[in-house]
Amino acid sequence: MLILTRRLGEAITIGKDVKLTVLSIKGNQVRIGVDAPKEVSIQRSELIEKKENEENSEHADIGESTDK
């Protein structure tokens, strides 16, 4: 994992098309602006993890009912 320090207003560029900018810092919250092409999917990691956990739970339930 690459760890970078940025100040308010500073940015990070990923590849040629994605730019992350620090918009504000309040206490332990940081607002980040993402500038990327529409075809780039941007999702919060906790939502992805939640969806994966729900899918795994559904598969486990199906597996239990078919094994009996």
Within a domain: 34: yes
Within a domain: 43: yes
Within a domain: 13: yes
Q: Choose between 64 and 32: higher pLDDT.
A: 32
Give residue-wise pLDDT tens across range 8-60. 999 999 999 999 999 999 999 999 999 999 999 999 999 888 888 888 887 77
Within a domain: 62: no
Half-sphere exposure of 51 (CA within 13 A, CB side): 6
Buried-exposed string 19-52: b where 16+ CB fall within 10 A, e elsewhere: ebbbeeeeeeeeeeeeeeeeeeeeeeeeeeeeee
Within a domain: 66: no
Note down the domain range covering 2: 1-57
Domain count, the chain: 1
Q: Record the tokens describing residue 24, joined without a space.
A: 């504000």
Closest CA to 20 of 31, 30, 33, 38: 33
Within a domain: 18: yes
Residue 65 has what pLDDT?
53
